[in-house]
Amino acid sequence: MNAPIGIIGGSGLYRMEGLALDRAVAVQTPFGEPSGPVHLGALDGIPVAFLARHGEGHRFTPSEVNYRANIWALKSLGVERLISVSAVGSLQARHRPGELRLVSQFIDKTRHRKDTFFGGGLVAHVSFAEPTCTHLSGALLATGRALSLPVEGDALYVCMEGPAFSTRAESRLHQSWGADLIGMTQVTEARLAREAELCYACIALVTDYDAWREEEEGVDATSVLEVMHANVDKAQALLRQVVPQLSGAPRACACGEALKAALFTAPETVPAEARKRLDLLVSKYGYGMVD
Ligand SMILES: CSC[C@H]1O[C@H](OP(=O)(O)O)[C@H](O)[C@@H]1O
Ligand SMILES: Nc1ncnc2[nH]cnc12
């Protein structure tokens, strides 16, 4: 089964409501094992692939998640559009717990991640000025508004390494940068989705005010999960409404050609190992496997 639409569920979203499960596939990738099996099924009749980012039972920290294997697995199952759901802290009073935001920009503070498929003899530099797909994010925003959900677009997300939350000083610093949201996962996923030529959008569900509000205790994980559980139905409702709209509509963006101007290495120098490892991504550009 081919699933052109993929969903990655983050903290508090470990299964997709309404997904009529066909099968769970354990995908092997050149980058190791994904966080768990990919659940293939139909959402209101539309084929969808679902993966829990932190694994079943939430077993991987944001630094341990094998983002490369996760994106690779979804790509190998035919995913072209990938919608991620992520729990985030709010850095500005106008973003309130329980509300949804669509992410359009990132500041990357991660330090311990494998965040590219390339290297080992094949170099690519993808454009990342617009790190999420504006078309996919636009469809989510319009659909969220039509459903009267508390949703806004254009959010700036600081991606920290974690797993500990920010100090108050860091939280205020991020706020002073004009950032809207903070989380620990999205920029890594977005980079890899771009290299894999997937459309990528992030539905951020605000769960807390991080640590900048002097009068409050800083965020803790239990309260994040409580707020997520109380509000995850909003993200699920948005997904269920948008998936049928996307299905069958051709992609009108450049995400599917992200590698076209990015591949830098002279083809004749690319080692057979790199060709084999990256075949899924680059064979269409003449860098495929050699026998
Ligand atoms: C459980 S609080 C911190 C945790 O929640 C967010 O996860 P995700 O982005 O996968 O929804 C954040 O990034 C941290 O991983
Ligand atoms: N305040 C916060 N910081 C980092 N990641 C988060 N995920 C949810 N809330 C968060």
Q: Which residues line ligand 1 (CB under 6 A)?
A: 10-11, 53-54, 62, 86-87, 162, 183-185, 221, 224
ipTM of the assembly? 0.99
Report the residue count for the chain.
291
Residue 90 lies in a domain: yes
Q: Does ligand 2 come within 6 angstroms of the Cβ of 174?
A: no
Give binding residues for substrate as ranges. Answer: 184, 208-210
The Å distance, Cα 233 to ligand 1 centre, comes to 17
Its domain, for residue 116, covers: 5-285
Among the listed residues 24, 31, 11, 71, the one whose alpha carbon sits nearest the alpha carbon of residue 197: 71
Reduced to 3 states (helix: H, G, I; strand: E, B; else coil), residue 76 is helix
The Å distance, Cα 270 to ligand 2 centre, comes to 41
Ligand 2, atom 8, residue with closest C-alpha: 88
Sign of CA dihedral 50, 118, 127, 157: positive
Ligand 1, atom 6, residue with closest C-alpha: 87
State the Cα–Cα distance between residues 231 and 100, nearest whole angstrom.
9
CATH of the domain at 26: 3.40.50.1580
Domains in the chain: how many in total?
1
Q: Which residues contact 124 (CB under 8 A, 6 or more apart)?
A: 116, 118, 195, 259, 262, 263, 264, 265
Residue 187 lies in a domain: yes
Residue 135 lies in a domain: yes
Ordered per-residue pLDDT tens for the chain, 291 residues: 689 999 999 999 999 989 888 899 999 999 999 999 999 999 999 999 999 999 999 999 999 999 999 999 999 999 999 999 999 999 999 999 999 999 999 999 999 999 999 999 999 999 999 999 999 999 999 999 999 999 999 999 999 999 999 999 999 999 999 999 999 999 999 999 999 999 999 999 999 999 999 999 999 999 999 999 999 999 999 999 999 999 989 999 999 999 999 999 999 999 999 999 999 999 999 997 766
Q: Does ligand 2 come within 6 angstroms of the Cβ of 224?
A: yes
Residue 128 lies in a domain: yes
pLDDT at 289: 78
pLDDT at 291: 60
Beta bridge partners of 204: 86, 101
Residue 234 lies in a domain: yes
Say which residue the tokens 């470990």 belong to: 14
Residue 291 lies in a domain: no
Q: In this structure, what DSSP letter does residue 236 have? A: H
State the Cα–Cα distance between residues 191 and 44, nearest whole angstrom.
30
pTM: 0.98
Q: Does ligand 2 come within 6 angstroms of the Cβ of 184?
A: yes
Residue 48 lies in a domain: yes
pLDDT at 22: 85
The Å distance, Cα 207 to ligand 1 centre, comes to 10
Residue 185 lies in a domain: yes
